[in-house]
Amino acid sequence: MKIVVIGSGYVGLVSACCLANSGHEVWTVEKDPKRFSTLKEGHMPIHEAGLDKLFEKCFNNTLFVENSLRTVPNAVSVAIIAVGTPSRTDGTVDLSQIETVIEELTAWCDYNLTIVMKSTVPPGTGQELMKKYFARLDKDFTYVSNPEFLREGSAIADWYLPDRIVLGSTNEAGIQIMEELYADIKAPIVTMDVTSAEMTKYAANAFLATKISFINEIACLCEKVSADVDCVAKGIGFDKRIGPHFLKPGIGYGGSCFPKDTRGLEALSKRHDHSFHLLSAVIEVNKNQVNLAVEKITKSLDGLEGKRICVLGLAFKPGTDDIRESPGIEIVAKLVSAKALVTVVDPIAMESFKAKYSQWKLTYCHEESLELGTNSQAIVIATDWPQFIQLDWCAIYNRMLQPRVILDGRNCLDAEKMKRIGFVYLAFGRRNDL
């Protein structure tokens, strides 16, 4: 099948590389000049495990890089839209990039093209777009909503082994073409109307965010009654109706999806005069996790001014260099504004961090550096990179200064071991008397 993928962010690049790897002929269109030239020179601009290898294998073979639709052969049967849908300050979603792409596609193509929406758009968007752009044309287009459930860090595995494929369309032919597109993927295909497919994406992310905020609230209560949240999460997770995933407490969720999509759903609810109390609480709880972390460090160091603190982790989660809405960076911001002397470390997100936050006066360190922790009074684990878990914590203890605090913002270290070494070990909802 001949396919054009518009937008080379995480979703666009993973889709383009995986489809090209499956033998489809794929053109990817990227307008950003810097990203386009990186791709055109055969380099992968993002860090996603295995993606560089797939790209290398398919580049100029089944995968072609363009910066405009004009140079894409007018014979593609499917156009996948994977451009950004950023949040506005009021939480509503900015659809301007989507509208530009639809305008370009409808002007460029004079035959029945299947337009597939992979960007996350608020429920109702597809219907509005079809009314606005297709109704006035004398050409036929097929519209399919195909929300994406890939996780950064495991996107390729998620592409080939998804829990399900959701397809929303008004047109049976649209569903058939998508089944052909995904012929090599074994997963249940759930078909529905366009608006329900759009809502499925928001509901999935909102539900996962709810699980995280729920366990964070339980963790707070565990601290008060001296229970252990890790045991509680395990105890409830075996219940198949609850499941073991997304029950890890800590400094909260970040990234380009959960924060934006929960705000987007909240804004949509308001627009429809519905008070989504539960979702608002989920967002509020998540925001507060960073404050709780800073309070814990402040208390343990008896203030922050002039205190030496090393923050481990800038990426919003391990396995990515994505720093968007990273809770670790919010912690760094709060420490800097309280005049702490901050060192930061991340295995791969350091460059993207430096490019965006050069205004802060910080010390940079490498995770393999023997300097890590030297003269720090506290260490904050903000991202649960495996490299951090495996550090030589005894050596770090010896390099640190009193009171040698560890704030484990991801409950990822062995609490007993840390205490045995001698650290003042703080986490979220873990018993302190162990």
Instruction: Please report, for residues 210, 213, 251, the alpha-carbon distance to residue 280 in angstroms, rounded to integers and kept in the order given.
Output: 10, 11, 18
Using the contact rule CB under 6 A, the part of the chain among 31-39, 255-263, 277-285, 417-425 near ligand UGA is 255-263
> Token match 């639709």: residue?
69
Considering only 2, 151, 419, 431, the residue that binds ligand UGA (CB under 6 A) is 151
Output the smallest distance, CB 112 to ligand UGA, in A: 29
Output the smallest distance, CB 397 to ligand UGA, in A: 26
Instruction: Please report, for residues 73, 104, 231, 377, the alpha-carbon distance to residue 406 in angstroms, rounded to integers and kept in the order given.
Output: 57, 53, 21, 9
Closest listed residue to residue 297, CA positions, set 247, 326, 336, 323? 336
Q: Which is nearer to ligand UGA, 205 or 377 (CB)?
A: 205
Classify strands 341-345 and 308-312 as parallel, antiparallel or unpaired.
Answer: parallel
Q: Does 162 bind ligand UGA (CB under 6 A)?
A: no
Considering only 160, 182, 246, 360, the residue that binds ligand UGA (CB under 6 A) is 246
Q: Does 313 bind ligand UGA (CB under 6 A)?
A: no
Strands (E), 313-421: 341-345, 363-365, 378-381, 405-408
Q: Which is nearer to ligand UGA, 159 or 393 (CB)?
A: 159
Spell out the residues 6+ positions from residue 105 whose beta carbon is closer than 8 angstroms to its own. Answer: 6, 69, 79, 113, 115, 141
Using the contact rule CB under 6 A, the part of the chain among 56-64, 235-243, 247-255, 275-283 near ligand UGA is 247-255
Spell out the residues 6+ positions from residue 390 whose beta carbon is closer than 8 angstroms to its own. Answer: none
Supply the DSSP symbol for 71. Answer: G
Considering only 141, 316, 353, 385, the residue that binds ligand UGA (CB under 6 A) is 316
Indicate the SS3 state at residue 367. coil
Using the contact rule CB under 6 A, the part of the chain among 76-84, 108-116, 179-187, 253-261 near ligand UGA is 253-261
> Token match 């429809």: residue?
272
Q: Does 148 bind ligand UGA (CB under 6 A)?
A: yes
Q: Which is nearer to ligand UGA, 108 or 246 (CB)?
A: 246
Instruction: Please report, for residues 78, 160, 167, 201, 344, the alpha-carbon distance to residue 189 in angstroms, rounded to integers and kept in the order given.
Output: 18, 13, 7, 14, 44
Phi, psi of 311 (to 5 degrees): -100, 120
Q: Which is nearer to ligand UGA, 72 or 194 (CB)?
A: 194
Q: Does 165 bind ligand UGA (CB under 6 A)?
A: no
Output the smallest distance, CB 200 to ligand UGA, in A: 11
Q: Does 223 bind ligand UGA (CB under 6 A)?
A: no
Site for ligand UGA, residues 317 to 346, rule: CB under 6 A? 317
Output the smallest distance, CB 404 to ligand UGA, in A: 26
Assess contact for 429 and 218: CB atoms under 8 A.
yes
User: Count of residues for the chain?
Assistant: 434
Q: Which is nearer to ligand UGA, 212 or 427 (CB)?
A: 212
Determine the Cα–Cα distance for residues 96 and 51; give it in Å rounded to an integer.
28
Question: Looking at 18, 109, 257, 412, which residue is catalytic?
Answer: 257
Q: Does 152 bind ligand UGA (CB under 6 A)?
A: yes
17 is known as an active-site residue: no
Output the smallest distance, CB 405 to ligand UGA, in A: 21
Q: Does 205 bind ligand UGA (CB under 6 A)?
A: yes
Spell out the residues 6+ positions from residue 417 whose beta carbon is closer than 8 angstroms to its own. Answer: 393
| Interface with ligand UGA (CB under 6 A) | 148-152, 205, 208, 212, 246-248, 250, 252-255, 257-258, 316-317
Catalytic residue annotation: 257
